[in-house]
Amino acid sequence: MTEYENLAQQLQAARLAAGKTQNEAAQILGCTAQAVSNWERGYTRIDCLSLFRLLASYGADLYDFLEKCGVGAAAPEPDRTMVPDTRLAKIWNGLGPGDREKLRRIAGILAEVEESEPPRPARARTRVIPLYRDLAAAGHPSPNPGEDYDDYPVAADSPADFAVRISGDSMEPWIRDGEVVLARRRLDLKDGDVGIFYARDGMVCKQYCQDSQGNTYLFSLNRQRREADITIPATSDLPLICFGRVLLERRIPLPVD
């Protein structure tokens, strides 16, 4: 008889001594009676957590059970139960999060400490918006899937309609080269809003402003890049299209120069 076959027989004997059926044992673990039968016949191996839970429910002494299985474990000395065990601390520190949770639950079973399942964190709800691969793609009304954009997850309650990756340093330090920004499709921009525009035959990300005469200014936030500013006089026939407002954590003041 192998060591595990002996354990399987002792597991069955502990259940019978407790007067429980395989169905009742299965209900304790939330598994099937067939799984319990396979463990007791030695067809499959029971995990340590399930084993300890069954023994606790049977009222079986763990150390007595291990002795019958031939493991030869000795019960701890009662007068040392409150003494910190540095070996246990070393074992704990060497475990990963998943194994620590298993060990904590096993310890609770051995110490006969009843505890409820820890609350599971709510799964964050998300949705997907297009991340355009360049600013020009952001202006396409119906981009071809897989060609002009990639799927980009955002929070389900995010007001963003699309995302773009900014290229260049003209919007630093607020928007850095290569950074992905979220944008909402809006046409009613206010002075100081940062938007995605089509102007002067190209797509740009700039800060918007319009004076009382109807002149439009698209500013670079990086004032060392003033040469990248765009001015469109009210009398000009140059096209200016806004595809959306960039969502920033705070409003950025207009430049004074």
Same domain, 204 and 135: yes
pLDDT at 143: 45
Residue 121 domain-assigned? no
- Taking only Cα atoms into account, the Rg of the chain, rounded to an integer number of angstroms, comes to 34
Q: What CATH number is attached to the domain comprising 181?
A: 2.10.109.10
Same domain, 50 and 102: yes
Same domain, 192 and 150: yes
Q: What CATH number is attached to the domain comprising 101?
A: 1.10.260.40
Q: Counting Cβ atoms within 10 Å, is residue 250 exposed (0-12), middle (13-18) or buried (19+)?
A: exposed
Same domain, 149 and 191: yes
DSSP calls for 81-123: TTS--HHHHHHHHTS-HHHHHHHHHHHHHHTT---PPPPPPPP
Residue 252 domain-assigned? no
pLDDT at 73: 46
Note the pLDDT tens digit of each residue in 105-162: 666 655 555 555 555 555 668 899 999 877 766 655 444 444 578 889 999 889 999 9
Residue 231 domain-assigned? yes
Note the pLDDT tens digit of each residue in 65-99: 877 877 554 444 444 444 455 666 666 666 677 66
Q: Which of 158, 155, 161 lies closest to 195 in space, CA to CA? A: 161
Number of Cβ within 10 Å of residue 123's Cβ equals 6
Q: Which of 249, 155, 245 lies closest to 206 in space, CA to CA? A: 245
Cis geometry, peptide bond prior to residue 76 (ω within 30 degrees of 0)? no
Q: By residue range, what is the domain housing residue 228?
A: 126-246
- 3-class DSSP state of 205: strand
Residue 253 domain-assigned? no
Residue 251 domain-assigned? no
Under the banding of pLDDT at 50, 70 and 90, the label for residue 178 is confident
| Distance, CA of 58 to CA of 73 (rounded, Å) | 19
pLDDT at 221: 93
* Number of domain units in the chain: 2
Residue 205 domain-assigned? yes
User: What phi and psi values does residue 249 have, to the nearest 5 degrees?
Assistant: -70, -30
β-strand pairing of 126-132 with 149-155? antiparallel
The mean pLDDT of 171-193, rounded to a whole number, is: 89
Residue 257 domain-assigned? no
Note the pLDDT tens digit of each residue in 6-54: 888 889 999 999 999 999 998 988 888 888 888 898 888 888 778 888 8
pLDDT at 21: 93
- 3-class DSSP state of 77: coil
Indicate the helix (H) or strand (E) that contains 14.
Answer: helix 3-17
Residue 256 domain-assigned? no
Amino acid residing at 190: K
Same domain, 156 and 106: no
pLDDT at 80: 47
